[in-house]
Amino acid sequence: MQYQHPDRLQCAILDWAGTVVDFGSFAPTQIFVEAFAEFGVAVSLEEARGPMGMGKWDHIRTLCDIPAIAERFEQAVGHAPSDDDVTALYERFMPLQIEKIAEHSALIPGALEAIAELRQRGLKVGSCSGYPAVVMDKVVALAERNGYVADQVVATDEVPNGRPHPAQALANVIALGVSDVAACVKVDDTTPGILEGRSAGMWTVALTCSGNALGLTHEAFRALTAEKLAQERARVARLFEASRPHYLIDTIADLPGVIDDINARLARGETPQAS
């Protein structure tokens, strides 16, 4: 038996918030701010966005490890944030998230059309998220009402390790019967999500304008001047540099062109691991 290098993509694994739904990725970030506030701890939206893409418990732990936030927590609560405190914050975060997820459930403009084009090119559509399953159930149901159904959904608490580990992406590969990780592309708006794809041996596409890094509504994004947009693209590109995405595009609407380019590279014998 001889190894057969894939000559076409078989699967796209898409993130959810900031990638397919919730332009600007506001649903998770705003709830972090509100959950901390209920403990008397002020956390800015910008601070809350920092670890985006990780599982939510890990996200809260990372926020609590930031010295400025840890100091505010200690002033409010009387001790440094422990893992028990992180769990208490997480347990408050979860019902708030479930309650308010519908407020930020709109599909990103162009998402349905782009995904339809991927399917026309023969790709399966996998998905994963930093949300746990209890939140993903609601996200998936809301997306279905708006016309989007992924072939596979893997929540962060359905694998041993969430992002930046490759487990969620690889769980999609197994469930969808993909023959080679080099025939997959991971699309995400966060550094942990790109690292997930890289660690899984996949092609990776980072979204610069629809997600957490830019952090604007679609209306605010469209209102940016050409000069300001260029500055923001450059800033976000710098944020992604260390994770080494293969491609940078504004939103998922630009993805079909990238798929064509990756297919051409695969046909030439190129691999994501070597790029």
Supply the residues annotated as catalytic.
15, 56
Cα torsion angle, 73, 77, 81, 86, sign: negative
Peptide bond connecting 164 to the previous residue in cis, omega within 30 degrees of 0: yes
* H-only helix segments in the chain: 26-37, 45-49, 56-64, 67-77, 83-100, 111-120, 133-145, 167-176, 191-199, 218-223, 226-240, 255-267
Name the 3-class secondary structure at 126. Answer: strand
Backbone angles phi, psi at 69, to 5 degrees: -70, -40
Is the separation of the CB atoms in 32 and 25 below 8 Å?
A: no
